[in-house]
A = this chain, B = another copy of it.
Amino acid sequence: MSPTKEDYLKILFELGGRTEQVPNKEIANRLSISPPTVTEMMNSLVKAGWVVYTPYKGSKLTQEGTDYAKKLIRKHRLWEVFLVKHLGFNINEVHPEAELLEHSTSAELADRLEAYLEFPEYCPHGGAISTDLMEEQEDMTVHLTEAVLGVPVRISRIVDEDRLLRYFENHDLKIGDRVTVTGRDSGLDLLTLNHGTTDKEIQISQTIAQYLFVEHI
């Protein structure tokens, strides 16, 4: 498996490909790649047994594809923990580093690294590390867009995609922050939040709020 193919599997998992069909366009967007390239790659992933592909509909991961993706995500998150905890990297810097390291990590190395880090439960962005907890978290967490108006919640996880992390940093949002959704404007695609700690008003786009997960306090 090449780093390229591995990244396709990972993205597929992150876009819900474990349970639903993911349209090519979403993959193309996330990887900044042209749609024909995605079509081509999906056919190749089908041939290798990682994916089930329905033309014009989208792709779903097979069981093997799901397992492979979860192993990759585990490696990615383990490296992020190492980079932050031991090497003193900033939370917003580690994702691109881990994006590379994940592909150069044997199962043996991942296991030893996990033990060395004393079996952390979450990565610095709140993502679960154990492959079982990963599915659970994926099924249980609520998107910020689905939070009830006026009810305070805690940010539990940020989808760690480079552009998103910068967006959230620019809006002063962090894992663990308490926020309350105070307004929703679907026309302007806006979500208004009250930040629990600073009591400041924050406005973010609803489209992007989909990548923020929250839990009830």
Contacts and interface: CB of A to CB of B under 8 A. Distances in A.
Interface of A: 83, 86-89, 97, 100-101, 103-106, 109, 112-113, 116
A100 B104 contact: yes
B87 A116 contact: yes
A87 B86 CA distance: 13
A112 B88 contact: yes
A109 B97 contact: yes
A101 B97 CA distance: 11
A109 B86 contact: no
B101 A87 contact: no
A100 B6 CA distance: 15
A113 B87 contact: yes
Contacts of A113: 87
A87 B113 CA distance: 7
Nearest to A97: B109
A162 to B, nearest CB: 14
B103 A104 contact: yes
Given A86-B116, A101-B105, 11 more contacts: A83-B109, A87-B109, A87-B113, A88-B112, A97-B104, A97-B106, A97-B109, A100-B104, A101-B104, A103-B104, A104-B104
A89 B88 CA distance: 24
Contacts of A101: 101, 104-105
Contacts of A116: 86-87
Contacts of A105: 101
A74 B161 CA distance: 30
17 contacts: A83-B109, A86-B116, A87-B109, A87-B112, A87-B113, A87-B116, A88-B112, A89-B112, A97-B104, A97-B106, A97-B109, A100-B104, A101-B101, A101-B104, A101-B105, A103-B104, A104-B104
A84 to B, nearest CB: 11
Contacts of A88: 112
